[in-house]
Structures are given as structure tokens and as C-alpha cells.
Amino acid sequence: MNNAKKYPTENECYELLNRFRMLPNIVDHSVQVMRVSLAIYDDLKDHDSISRELIVAAALLHDIAKTRSIEQKELRHDLIGAEMLRELGHVEIADICENHVIYNDFDATSPVSEKDIVF
């Protein structure tokens, strides 16, 4: 998909993971989520409506608040992470993050989206 939107690059995502002190095992998990998500993306017959860049960024950043939530004993790292990502200006990534634990408004009849893939 050729979109005009700017998502953080993979390197920029790693910078954010470092900035928010993500634990190594959580980084490893996020990398695996990215790999599986990209395998799904690569297997799609039609890539035109899906952003590979959004998938990479959302997969890497979906647990951005996990370390903080563990340290502060917060229950909903998905909601906290979404709030953090919105504050950084990454609204679409925040929506995916917010839905990676509990998928709100799933519609099995709609075309596959980046949120579906990362979930």
C-alpha cells in the first residue's frame, strides 16, 4: 500500500522500546509478533489495502507499556500503551495496541486489517 502516512521505522521502534526500557523478553516477544504478522501479510493475495509499515510498527510497539505495567502493577498495559502511543502522535498504532488483548468491534465480514493481523 502506498500511503502518505508516516509510521515509525523499525529502527525508530527499537529506539522507543529502549526509551521505555522494555525488558529483553518482551522485546523478543514483540519481534516474534512482528515476524508472524509479516508472514500473514506476505501470504495475503491482496496487499493493496494493508500497510506493511503499520504492521511492523504496531507489532513492535504493541507491548510498549508492558514493562511499566509490571513494575507499577498496572493491570491494562494495552490501554496504557495506547495512551502513550497517542501522546506520541501514533493514533493508528495506538488503536492496534488498545485492541491486542481484547479485540473490540471485530467484524468477520470486513476485509482483513492491520489490527486483525497483529491481534
The DSSP-derived string for 17-52 is HHHTT--HHHHHHHHHHHHHHHHHHHH-S--TT--H
Is-contact 103 119, C-beta < 8 A? yes
pLDDT given for residue 48 in this prediction: 84
Please, is 119 exposed, middle or buried when counting C-beta atoms within 10 Å of its C-beta (0-12, 13-18, 19+)?
A: middle
pLDDT given for residue 101 in this prediction: 78
Per-residue pLDDT of the chain (119 residues), as tens digits, is 444 579 999 999 999 999 999 999 999 999 999 999 999 999 998 888 899 999 999 999 999 999 898 999 988 999 999 999 999 999 999 999 998 878 888 888 998 999 999 99
Read off the C-alpha cell for 35: 515476524
Domain ranges of the chain: 10-118
pTM: predicted TM-score of the whole model, two decimal places: 0.90
Is-contact 63 22, C-beta < 8 A? yes
Is-contact 38 56, C-beta < 8 A? yes
Read off the C-alpha cell for 109: 465480514
pLDDT given for residue 62 in this prediction: 94
pLDDT given for residue 4 in this prediction: 55
DSSP secondary structure letter of residue 112: P
